[in-house]
């Protein structure tokens, strides 16, 4: 059995400005960088890590970097845990999205909804996560951290709790950590939330 952790990246410039970043490569905000350092120090005091893997997007890598330094580990990237591709809606503010009838505002109806312009449905995210979860069983290390994103974490939790095609409507907060005692792909798992620094106070839409 492995102990795996998932963390949503710290506050990004897009979060700060109420922008739906999708796969745009936005950096962490000043607060996000400070929070990432606090989270790294706090996490070092409560956990052991053998491996750190993050989304290739900049905001995830900037969150992972201080954690990797704290644990003296090299950081790897995995495209399978990147954020949802939102096509034409990428980079819009939430105020702009509110005026777009072609955006799927109802969270419960996004399973088959494919955003215009090469976007990715929730079903497509769930499908790309299947080989990721299957690979966990043979991945090196017993204690592994994955740094990823809000919407992807929504589908990660649905996989872990075996609820698909249903998925949670709430999202992880910036900097929120999930701890799972991983017993294998296809099993149902409990997800424990851990908040370090100010992560419990930060929320954004998705």
| Arithmetic mean of pLDDT over the chain | 95
Q: What is the pLDDT of residue 191?
A: 97
> At residue 202, does pLDDT exceed 60?
no
* CA–CA distance, 149 with 109 (Å, rounded to integer): 20
Q: Which sign does the torsion angle of CA 140, 141, 145, 151 carry? A: positive
* CA–CA distance, 71 with 44 (Å, rounded to integer): 7
* CA–CA distance, 104 with 121 (Å, rounded to integer): 11
> At residue 147, does pLDDT exceed 70?
yes
pTM above 0.85, yes or no: yes
At 82-132, the pLDDT tens digits run: 999 999 999 999 999 999 999 999 999 999 999 999 999 999 999 999 999
CA angle 176, 152, 114 (to 5 degrees): 150
> At residue 203, does pLDDT exceed 60?
no
Burial of 172 per CB tally in 10 Å (0-12, 13-18, 19+): buried
At 28-52, the pLDDT tens digits run: 999 999 999 999 999 999 999 999 9
Q: How many CB atoms lie within 10 A of CB 170?
A: 11
């Amino acid at each position: 059995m492995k102990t795996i952790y998932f963390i949503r990246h710290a506050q990004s410039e897009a979060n700060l400005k109420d922008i739906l970043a999708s796969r745009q490569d936005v950096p962490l905000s000043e607060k996000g960088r400070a929070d990432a350092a606090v989270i790294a120090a706090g996490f070092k005091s409560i956990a052991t890590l053998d491996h750190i893997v993050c989304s290739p997007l900049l905001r995830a890598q900037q969150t992972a970097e201080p954690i990797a330094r704290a644990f003296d580990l090299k950081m790897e990237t995995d495209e399978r845990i990147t954020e949802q591709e939102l096509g034409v809606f990428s980079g819009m503010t939430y105020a702009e999205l509110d005026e777009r009838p072609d955006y799927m505002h109802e969270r419960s109806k996004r399973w088959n909804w494919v955003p215009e312009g090469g976007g990715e449905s929730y079903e497509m995210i769930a499908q790309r996560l299947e080989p990721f979860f299957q690979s966990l069983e043979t991945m090196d290390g017993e204690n592994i951290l994955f740094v990823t994103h809000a919407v992807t974490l929504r589908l990660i939790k649905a996989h872990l709790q075996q609820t698909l095609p249903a998925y949670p409507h709430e999202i992880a907060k910036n900097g929120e950590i999930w701890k799972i005692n991983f017993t294998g792909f296809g099993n149902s798992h409990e997800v424990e939330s851990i908040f370090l620094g100010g992560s419990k106070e930060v929320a954004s839409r998705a």
